[in-house]
Structure 1
Amino acid sequence: MTDESPDSRQLLLRTLMAKVADETYPSNTTLDFIEELLTPDEVDAYAQMLIGHIENDQFPSIPMIARVRDLLT
């Protein structure tokens, strides 16, 4: 593996985040896994992805809103 290749954590995180980005209603289990893998530098991009879900949903999930709130506090 070269220095520019993602490590396994990054690869799994990227894969899970891509799935969540494509899903209308991502599973809480997948979101929990992502949050366990995040580094502090990755939290903002993840929060923005979730905020995109909230913005695009006519009736956004209260647990999703709470999840983002908890990430940002």
Structure 2
Amino acid sequence: MNINQVLENAKRLNVNERALVAHCLISSLETSQDEGVEQAWVELAEKRYQELASGKAESVSWDDIKKEVKG
């Protein structure tokens, strides 16, 4: 699979899945990290995804976050 195919496939994912993919890709660039950090991130990302998918948690748009911060 080439980069264009990967990008096209990634565009089909929902926003939370794309965020998880982005995190994993960025994490893969790091050369050293504390033991267990990667597994902790994976577990947290999976937990958050399940909360969103189940309706237990709701997503917030970036615009809403910026409005709240500006208060």
Larger RCO of the pair (alpha carbons < 8 Å, separation 6+): 1
TM-score category of the 2 structures, normalised to the smaller one: 0.3 to 0.5
Q: Could you say which structure has the larger radius of gyration?
A: 2
TM norm structure 2? 0.35
TM norm structure 1? 0.34
